[in-house]
A = this chain, B = another copy of it.
Amino acid sequence: MRRDSWQGTNLPKVSGYNRAVVLDAIRGHDGISRVELADRTGLTAQTMSNIVRGLIGDGLVTEDGHAPSTGGKRRSRLRLVADSQHAVGLHLDHERLTGVLLDLSGSPLRRSERAIPPDSSSSTVIRALNRMFTQLVRSSGTDRLLGVGLAVPSALDSSRRGLAYGSWAGVPLADLVQDRLGVPVVMDGDGIAAAVGEHWSGGEHRTGSFLYVHLGSRVGIGLVLDDQVHRGTSGNAGEIAHVPGAGGRECVCGRRGCLDAYCSMSAVVADWRASANGTGPASAETVHAEYDQLRRAASDGDALAVKTLRQAASRLGQALAPVVGVLDLDRVVLGGPALRHVDEHIRPRVAKALDAYRSSPGGCRVESGLVGDDAGAVGAAALVLDQAHAPRLAPLPG
């Protein structure tokens, strides 16, 4: 982001900001009273009252019940009308498509998943995205759709509407999906999207700053710094899959030693195969199924499976360490489908690697995400909700 000058602020911007602050507080504190709201946000009773009236009028908030009062008239409780707005999130991963419909509280109302054949053309995938979208919207019967978020397993190109690498480079994916679906589509890398989802859904457990690691078919990262997602100059903050580390293993990108060559789902499966029976890498069609076998074996205590996962986790921790150290973060959150059932093997190794590298005082906790397996799709939908409703450290330049 470049600015020519800072922009001043004015009453309309301020009132939009305060409205977002109030909605955020009601969303995070179900049943809060107006007095508590004023106390939490520092707004005057009068300002608060006007904002709440507006939110109720727009159907986003309702009042019901009464909070205990210290005397005088009883206080009505304010609640989010979670069903007042919906967003669809679509996560395009290698060989897999996942979709969710979220309500305004960030809860998934519907989910859907399907395999995509390897090397599918973009038009095939756009048709599949459209079918999933239609199914999610139809089955829920929603007529309150805010928009669609798309999470992709790749760096974005300079337009931020397509992928930078691979066979789809040059395809304006987000625009084509938007044309096909007929609704606004926002797009980010899956690491950024999942971090936004965790921030949106995690409430007071996910305030401040954290680094989110999305473990899907590849590793993607999202950075939330002082409650703002950091997207970087080209929208590709968090692209760590092809940052090289120690080791010279050949990567699909043509370089050597990339994190992806050791920690992608297919790399981990190939390592397990190699250590177990010496056979070569998994085929693209079967990598998800084989990873499921690996995680079952690890859950059953299979030593080779556990060792394979731990090695990958240590390497992941080593790659994260300089970033966590230089940003001085005290929390790393792990999530995504590759973590399911095996986080007990992965989390401690990541934590150990971070501790070994720590160059400033204070430790870094490594936690499992609150959103779960569908972090990419939930995050994609949260991009829409975040854009519409999150308080910014506004008034923003521009």
Contacts and interface: CB of A to CB of B under 8 A. Distances in A.
Most buried by B among A18, A40, A226: A226
Interface string A286-322: 0000000000000000000000000000000001011
A323 B223 CA distance: 12
Nearest to A328: B232
A330 B233 contact: yes
A238 B393 CA distance: 23
A41 B230 contact: no
A211 to B, nearest CB: 9
Nearest to A232: B328
Contacts of A14: 9, 14
Given A1-B209, A246-B246, A322 B325 contact: no
Interface in A21-69: 21-22, 24-25, 28-29, 40-44, 47
Contact of A330 (B5, B234, B359, B362): B234
A44 B10 contact: yes
A361 interface: yes
A231 B225 CA distance: 10
B232 A8 contact: no
Nearest to A23: B6
Given A14-B9, A209-B1, A394-B393, A326 B237 contact: yes
Interface of A: 1-10, 14, 17-18, 20-22, 24-25, 28-29, 40-44, 47, 155-158, 164, 204, 207-209, 221, 223, 225-228, 230-246, 258, 319, 321-323, 325-330, 357, 359-362, 391-398
Given A209-B233, A239-B325, A239-B359, 14 more contacts: A1-B208, A5-B25, A8-B41, A9-B18, A155-B360, A155-B361, A156-B361, A223-B326, A234-B361, A236-B361, A242-B359, A393-B393, A393-B394, A393-B395
Which 6 A-B pairs give the minimum distances between C-beta atoms? A232-B328, A236-B360, A8-B43, A393-B393, A242-B359, A237-B328
